Chains A and B, each alone.
Chain A
Amino acid sequence: MSSLSRRGFLTASAALGGTALASALTGCSSSSSSTPPGTRTIDHWDWFVSQEPWLKQEIALFEKAHPKIKIKRTVQVSDKYPDLINLAFRGGSAPDLLMIPSTPALQEQVADGWLRTLDDYATPQWRGRFPDGNFYNGVDMVEGKVYSAPFSGQAPWLQLYIHNGLFKQAGVTNPDGSVKLPKTWDDVTAAAEAITGKSGGKAYGLGFGNVPNTSLPWWVELFVRGAGSPAGYGTDLLDYRVGKWTFGSDRNYTDFVELLLEWKKKGYVYPSSMSIGDEQARAFFERGKFGMIVGGVWNQSTWTQHHFTDYSLTTLPSPTETPKAFFYYPPGGHLWALSKNTKVSDEAWAWFDWLYSPAAGQRWVESGQGLSIFPEANKNAKVTSQQFQDYIDMRQFALPMPVPAIRNPDVSKVVVPTVTPDLPDVLAGLYSGQLKDVSGALSALEDRRNKALAEGVKQAQAKGAKVSLADWVFKDWDPTKPYQNKPA
């Protein structure tokens, strides 16, 4: 009889299961390290990956300074973080200190009893460590109570990264032999053409990793801002001069998407860009598979860890050499919060306070993660990387923007329904050739987005909120100047 012996199968399964169980138990037991009696543990959740070295260093320093407090850190997948936090709160296993998820809105998280107000800890003196104008309702406060605080300083969140080696091989250099940084859309096209043409099929001019739907909107945002379109992809980033999204009516979007498709048609774009993720694209850029990639300052820390430094960066490439719009940020901000159900609030606050200290901010800058909210931390930080210094020097291209919720707090009661297909979908549809009419697809998207906003306003009005679409219009906004928000 050639059939598989049932007894043999069961024996093998039991052996495998036993091995797995033993490994699991061994894994569990290893976590019980020696802790002094009376030690209290803070459950901490975040989604930091490239920022991990900085966070691990902070945990080590904090635990050394507070021997009776232990941080139990759980790193979660960033794109599933809102679901995981939601499930944790519903299941009663929420962490003591959490990174605030992007959805639902801060006020909804407060209304659902997720977050603990920090009013008893965040005294006026504590708030005084932050620069003026950083605590606003709907941003880090809800109904006058503090729930979080701003963490990062502002600079353009997207840059165009240049592979020096490929640029030099393709001869895209200045007379002194240094890499010629592209300033205009035409410069980017010319560099992409040179790299693709001169590499003999081994490298491409441009590349990205769009799985899952992340990178194409970055390309659009970086390029259309330079062309003078102040809106962006985020839910809060409409063109506040008119209070609408303008994907179809603003010609810059169509022009750039058509240029992108032209690059693809001419073979300048890395062919597997729609099959890979951003992390893989970053690695392929490092290996010299393509010469230009759009990303944020988070790229730099990964490359530093890999000892890859042969790159440069620029931002806001535009049709002419002068950018006509910049990056914008709301005043204030939020990153971490304390769970309302935490049983170790004093210890969790101590950790929160540590993370929001100017010293931790300075180490954040020195590790090349980004800018700190504290100007003195940015000033005192010893920056050793030229590329990170270049990023810091781009601060001039990030300006405060109008925030409707500051002018009318009831705006925060508006929940804009999800739009499908949204910008990432439409861009993927156009890039993969499933959508043919660029202008038509972008106009339809604009229509969907604006209808969704109107629907959100209507629903909020029905629930008693005093809002109207006019709350999103800021006729006095000049996108080339910092906007001074005036609270209601």
Chain B
Amino acid sequence: MQLLDTAAPKPPTGGRGAAAPAVTAPAHGRWQRIKAARWSYVYLAPLMALLLTFVVYPIFGSLAYAFYRWNGIGSPGDYVGLDNFRQIAHDAIFWRAVGHTFVYAIVVVPVQLLIALVLALTLNNRKLRFASFYRTLFFLPVVTSPAVVGVIVQLMLSNFGDSLNRWLLDAHLIGRPVDWLGNPKIALGIIILVGVWQTLGYNLVYFLAGLQTIPEEVYEAARIDGAGRLRTFTHITVPLLRPVGLMIVILAFIGSFQVFDLVQVLTGGGPYFGTEVVNTYIYHLAFGGNQATATEPNVGLASAASFFYGLLLIGFSVLQVLLFRSLAKRRATGRA
């Protein structure tokens, strides 16, 4: 029924007859529509209030601090104009942190999505017993705090790192013992590995939800037409999963760009900024760094870095959306 309703012929939008109600109706019609959906607005109101208070206001509120040199104590009074932005734009450590963040996202997202898709296809098999148990099992890391995961991994590496080294040395896989979190490349690899494992459950659930929206009849029709498993996957599952998949990709990238707690707990961004990501960089600016002795925090500089990174992410998101649109357009043109 729904399909029939939306597909019903629409009133003409051109010509004299159609123009008259379009001019007179809007104010009255809009109010009617709001009134009709008033309960929706009531339900939305608390979340909107929280969003405005804890997301929108801090974003613009902290922007003001970006023009001051301020250690977070008292009121900001040392106006520096755009100096903080200039300093961030010329800071090699910031760009290194941006690089690490992108490496993290670019590795985590495809690997995680691939594993999540394979697992989702497996768990979507109606003949599989204990599917709910497996689903819960794979989702468990998501509900575990990244900070706790980080502490546990750090303890595992520090306590069993020696044994692992000895085993690898005995197997002649390494020539000398490895400092697991002290070597920046290995440390970043470990962070990526843990990141993939820890947030895999989200994408698994998203993919499962997407798979369950594909009508069984379509698969049955394909089977009757003689399509094999691979053909069914490439010609039915993938195309019908694409809209959900695009959303999952966007969400996965956004999530990866926000990586913080895992890095902060595992390495603190070190050694020598070798695993610093943008969020730990901002945190260290705002709260005085990870030094042997406390250093003076610079909330102004942190705000500037935060805003600057926000702009970079907006740019990246716009690019991502444009790319997906262009791909969709090309695909539509190809089909036509």
Which residues of A pack against B, CB within 8 Å?
A: 2-5, 79-83, 86, 90, 101-104, 108, 112, 201, 210-215, 217-218, 233-235, 267, 271-276, 280, 289, 415, 417-418, 420-426, 428-429, 431-432, 434-435
**Contact of B212 with A3 in the complex, beta carbons under 8 Å:** yes
CA distance A266 to B297 in the complex (A): 39
Q: Which of B135, B161, B179, B267 has the most CB of A within 10 A?
A: B179
Is B183 in the interface zone, CB < 8 Å from A? yes
**Contact of B291 with A213 in the complex, beta carbons under 8 Å:** yes
Contact of B132 among A4, A86, A214 (CB under 8 A): A4
Measured as residues with beta carbon below 8 angstroms from the partner, the interface class of chain B is 35 or more
**Contact of A428 with B180 in the complex, beta carbons under 8 Å:** no
**Contact of A428 with B161 in the complex, beta carbons under 8 Å:** no
Number of A-B residue pairs at CB separation under 8 A:
143
Q: Given A86-B73, A112-B74, A434-B274: A213 and B183 within 8 A (CB)?
A: no
**Contact of B179 with A434 in the complex, beta carbons under 8 Å:** no
Is B320 in the interface zone, CB < 8 Å from A? no
**Contact of A275 with B179 in the complex, beta carbons under 8 Å:** yes
Contact of B288 among A5, A82, A417 (CB under 8 A): A82
State which residues 66-119 of B face A: CB under 8 Å. Answer: 71-74, 93
* 24 sample A-B contacts, Cβ–Cβ < 8 Å, listed by A number: A2-B123, A3-B212, A79-B294, A82-B288, A83-B287, A90-B73, A102-B293, A102-B294, A103-B71, A112-B74, A201-B166, A210-B182, A212-B270, A213-B270, A213-B290, A214-B292, A275-B157, A275-B180, A276-B158, A422-B289, A428-B271, A432-B274, A434-B274, A435-B272
CA distance A188 to B86 in the complex (A): 47
Q: Given A4-B135, A271-B179, A272-B161: A83 and B297 within 8 A (CB)?
A: yes
**Contact of A422 with B212 in the complex, beta carbons under 8 Å:** no
Min Cβ gap B65→A in Å is 14
Min Cβ gap A41→B in Å is 27
State which residues 267-293 of B face A: CB under 8 Å. Answer: 267-268, 270-274, 287-293
Min Cβ gap A121→B in Å is 26
CA distance A431 to B154 in the complex (A): 20
CA distance A218 to B132 in the complex (A): 53
Which residues of B pack against A, CB within 8 Å?
A: 71-74, 93, 123, 126, 128, 131-132, 135-136, 154, 157-158, 161-162, 165-166, 176-184, 208, 212, 267-268, 270-274, 287-298
* Cβ-closest chain B residue relative to A105: B296
Chain A residues in 8 Å Cβ range of B180: 272, 275
**Contact of A418 with B289 in the complex, beta carbons under 8 Å:** yes
Chain B residues in 8 Å Cβ range of A435: 272
**Contact of A418 with B181 in the complex, beta carbons under 8 Å:** no
Contact of A210 among B271, B295, B297 (CB under 8 A): B271
Chain B residues in 8 Å Cβ range of A213: 268, 270, 290-292
**Contact of A274 with B179 in the complex, beta carbons under 8 Å:** yes
Chain B residues in 8 Å Cβ range of A434: 184, 271-272, 274
